[in-house]
Amino acid sequence: MDKILIEVFVPVLGSPFDIFIPAQAYLFEVLELIKKAVTELSEGRFTADGTTALCFRENGAIININLSVAGLELHDGSRLMLI
């Protein structure tokens, strides 16, 4: 399975996290993986809920989770934000 390395910034923690995601997945799957990874990496300081969303860090636009990683043209080094 091909993976890409993205940076996910979490404003509530003030920290970025580097996370590998599957290149052929849809964002609704990726969001779940990212929420779990950030919860673990932050040692429980971050807890996701039903309103947790992913957005582009550059402009703050919320990402449509029904699109695929490839469809969004995410690549190694893409910068996202978990809010």
Average pLDDT, integer, range 31-43: 95
- The C-alpha atoms of residue 59 and residue 29 are separated, in whole angstroms, by 23
Q: What is the pTM of this model?
A: 0.91
Locus of tokens 């969303």: 53
- The pair of structure tokens assigned to 73 is 């043209």
pLDDT band at 27 (very low <50, low <70, confident <90, very high): very high
pLDDT band at 1 (very low <50, low <70, confident <90, very high): low
Find, among 23, 9, 32, the residue nearest to 74 by Cα.
23
Beta bridge partners of 19: 6
pLDDT digits (tens, 9 = 90+) for 70-81: 999 999 999 999
- The C-alpha atoms of residue 58 and residue 47 are separated, in whole angstroms, by 24
